[in-house]
Amino acid sequence: MKDLKLKIELLPKGAWGNDFSRTLCKKDWDILRNACYERANHKCAICGYETDDLDAHEVWDFNIETKTQTLIDIIALCGRCHGVKHIRNSQRLGYGEEAKRHFMNVNKCSELDYASHLTQAQMDFEERNKIYRWKIVADLSKFGLENATIKEKNIPFVRSVYEYVDWATMSFEDKKKLFQLYQSSPPKYWINPPKVISIEIDNYQGTIEVLSNDTNKIEWYLDKQKIKTKYNVVGKFKTILKVENLNGKELTFALFGDGGKTFSKIFELLPQEVL
């Protein structure tokens, strides 16, 4: 296929949230984006549309071998071109067809060309998702910001027996084997200890989501020291723990309810460099 002016760029999951519009303070990001607009003479760098409502888009190169994402450019884009760059978000919001038409108009190509390019972008996305943590390489002085400090996220990798559990098909008896259950004292035979419905670990963003029933509160422990408590009012209880900046080796939780207590097995926290 011929060279395309407008390409789809699907950020791998491990890079979500690494963009400078989120990691820099507002003042520094304003310097970068305004310099970007000035370089583009307030026109979209791809389609040439002139508007005061431009977006600053970061162009990254991803190297799987070195696990680095390198900033190549910061370009000014109109909303339609930016919507093509982030086509999955456009599709989610109901603008997928509009983005597809804009892609074909700008590139003067067919729907088959669009489908082929989208397929390749999705293949690149899946391949890059093999990397959980990307090291950011960027010289922001090239884009108008001097003496910037680039923040590196400290998100340990979570390893546990719960990673590959199929909660939808596992029987209740098998689920009970994954926890330590204790009846209340004196026992309330008509009420069971808290029941875990599911545990979802997101090692890209560094979160552990616990969904349970018959739970009044959850307590999290890092190396046997309590670090967080969250209370439930009524019904199913969903809670999310972020492991970013946690410095320790073993993480566990305990659920408390009228019928007793439920203790988890260990979540092992591994430093980023072992990935």
Predicted local confidence at residue 146, as pLDDT: 92
Cα 153 to Cα 15, 65, 91, 110, distances in angstroms:
11, 20, 29, 41
The predicted-structure confidence for 106-115, as pLDDT tens digits, reads as follows: 999 999 999 9
Residue 272 has pLDDT above 80, yes or no: no
Going by C-alpha positions, the residue among 198, 64, 81, 184 that lies closest to residue 132 is: 64
Read off the pLDDT of each residue in 244-266 and give the average, rounded to a whole number. Answer: 96
The two three-digit tokens of residue 205, written as one number: 């963003």
Distance of alpha carbon 11 from alpha carbon 16, whole angstroms: 7
Please indicate whether residue 274 or residue 255 has the higher confidence score (pLDDT): 255
Q: Which residues pair with 94 in a beta bridge?
A: none
Cα 175 to Cα 6, 42, 168, 272, distances in angstroms:
49, 58, 11, 30
Predicted local confidence at residue 108, as pLDDT: 96
Q: Are 32 and 145 in contact (CB under 8 A)?
A: yes
Considering the entire predicted model, what is its pTM? 0.86
Going by C-alpha positions, the residue among 209, 233, 235 that lies closest to residue 220 is: 209
Residue 149 has pLDDT above 70, yes or no: yes
Pairing of strands 68-77, 135-137: parallel
The predicted-structure confidence for 190-240, as pLDDT tens digits, reads as follows: 688 999 999 999 999 999 999 999 999 999 999 999 999 999 988 899 999
Predicted local confidence at residue 2, as pLDDT: 67
At residue 33, what is the residue type?
Answer: R
Distance of alpha carbon 2 from alpha carbon 99, whole angstroms: 19
Predicted local confidence at residue 86, as pLDDT: 95
**Which CATH code is given to the segment(s) 157-274?**
2.60.40
Q: Is 90 helix (H, G, I), strand (E, B) or coil?
A: helix
> Where do the domains of the chain lie?
13-143, 157-274
The predicted-structure confidence for 21-78, as pLDDT tens digits, reads as follows: 889 999 999 999 999 999 999 999 999 999 989 999 999 999 999 999 999 999 999 9
Going by C-alpha positions, the residue among 214, 199, 210 that lies closest to residue 240 is: 210
Q: Are 266 and 253 in contact (CB under 8 A)?
A: no
The two three-digit tokens of residue 131, written as one number: 């990397």
Q: Which residues pair with 75 in a beta bridge?
A: 57
Averaged confidence pLDDT in the chain: 93
